[in-house]
């Protein structure tokens, strides 16, 4: 399962990319507004930090302008995924851009029927919003189960299910159980995935016992001891 971070905060992207566990980034107009930065400039910077897909969303709603915006965004870097809304004009734009070899992320998907349309339009990703469905008392994860099941019936569908609007680690775990390809989430949720109180407790106990031994794995000279180790194959 791929992990994308859902933010336009480049400091946070750098921090989590340094773990080697980040496969891509999603942004949207609200996240760009929150960053307070120039859209093109911030997307350029993100594309340099993360080699995987970086979603940048069009702002127009008519096909012609969406297409022009999508082409402008696609020129930023080869790892751009142009994000278009799940509307007739959005899907029309998706079909053209996908046909030209540009990755497209079809966003604001709230039903299995919409997800089928996104796949037929050649989207690289479809983004069903689970948290926003939960917010209106409709089980978001049921939509993911439906889409994964439907897509599995059609091996010619190349669209990846990108679970979006994730609010907590259970959304991620359930999405993984269902075989969703990607989860995009805020940095806070990625950090929550690392944490378990028993990990903290166990580590504290191990460190306390290790201190009692008075030993150091690297020895008094620290990492310099590495140089003395015989290299493999020299007997
Ligand atoms: C995904 O691409 C969207 O940017 C995002 O997941 C929306 O999340 P929200 O519902 O928390 O705003």
Instruction: Report how far ligand 1's centroid is from the alpha carbon of 139 (Å).
Output: 16
Q: Whose CA is nearest to atom 5 of ligand 1?
A: 165
The set of long-range contacts for 133-137, using a CB threshold of 8 Å and a minimum separation of 24, is 133/165, 134/167
Give me the residue spans of the domains in the chain: 2-194
**Active-site amino acid positions:** 83
* pLDDT, position 230: 56
Q: In CATH, which of 1.20.1090.10, 3.20.20.70, 3.30.1490.20, 3.30.230.10 is domain 2-194?
A: 3.20.20.70
* β partners of residue 84: 106
Pocket mutation for ligand 1, best pick of 43, 125, 131, 143 (most atoms within 8 Å of C-beta): 131
What spacing in Å lies between the alpha carbon of 164 and ligand 1's midpoint? 6
Give the residue, by CA position, lying nearest to ligand 1 atom 7.
165
pLDDT for 233 equals 47
Please identify which residue in the block is written with the tokens 């989860």.
183
The terminus-to-terminus CA distance of the chain in angstroms comes to 41
pLDDT in tens, the chain (235 residues): 999 999 999 999 999 999 999 999 999 999 999 999 999 999 999 999 999 999 999 999 999 999 999 999 999 999 999 999 999 999 999 999 999 999 999 999 999 999 999 999 999 999 999 999 999 999 999 999 999 999 999 999 999 999 999 999 999 999 999 999 999 999 999 999 999 999 999 999 999 999 999 999 998 777 665 555 555 544 3
Residue 201: predicted pLDDT: 98
Q: Which residue has the tokens 């029309």?
A: 92
Sequence-ordered alpha helix ranges (H) in the chain: 10-17, 29-35, 39-49, 63-74, 88-99, 112-120, 130-135, 140-152, 169-177, 187-194, 197-213
Q: Give the bridge partners for 184, in sequence order.
A: 4
d(CA 20, CA 32) in angstroms, rounded, equals: 24
CA atoms within 13 A on the CB side of 9: 12
Ligand 1: which residue has its CA nearest to atom 8? 165
User: Which atom of ligand 1 lies closest to the CA of 26?
Assistant: 2
Task: Please choose from 6, 34, 134, 166 the residue to mutate so as to test ligand 1's pocket, defined by most ligand atoms within 8 A of CB.
Answer: 6
Ligand 1 neighbours (beta carbon < 6 A): 6, 26, 28, 107, 127, 129, 131-132, 164-165, 184
Q: Residue 104 — φ and ψ, nearest 5°?
A: -130, 135
**pTM of the predicted model over 0.75:** yes
């Amino acid at each position: 399962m791929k992990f994308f971070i859902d933010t336009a905060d480049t400091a946070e992207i750098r921090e989590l990319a340094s773990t080697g566990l980040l496969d891509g980034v999603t942004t949207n107009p609200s996240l760009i507004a929150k960053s307070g930065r120039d859209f093109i400039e911030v997307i350029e910077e993100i594309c340099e930090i993360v080699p995987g897909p970086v979603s940048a969303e069009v702002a127009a709603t008519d096909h012609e302008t969406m297409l022009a915006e999508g082409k402008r965004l696609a020129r930023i870097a080869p790892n751009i995924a142009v994000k278009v809304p799940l509307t007739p004009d959005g899907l029309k734009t998706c079909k053209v851009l996908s046909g030209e070899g540009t990755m497209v992320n079809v966003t604001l998907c709230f039903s299995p029927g919409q997800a089928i349309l996104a796949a037929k339009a050649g989207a690289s990703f479809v983004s069903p919003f689970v948290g926003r469905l939960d917010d209106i008392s409709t089980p978001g994860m049921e939509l993911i189960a439906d889409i994964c099941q439907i897509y599995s019936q059609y091996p010619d569908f190349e669209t990846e299910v990108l679970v979006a609007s994730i609010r907590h680690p259970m959304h991620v775990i359930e999405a993984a159980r269902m075989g969703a390809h990607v989860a995009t989430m805020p940095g806070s949720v990625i950090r929550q995935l690392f944490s378990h109180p028993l990990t903290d407790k166990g580590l504290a106990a191990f460190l306390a016992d290790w201190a009692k031994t008075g030993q150091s794995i690297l020895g008094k000279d620290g990492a310099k001891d590495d140089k003395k180790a015989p290299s493999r194959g020299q007997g």
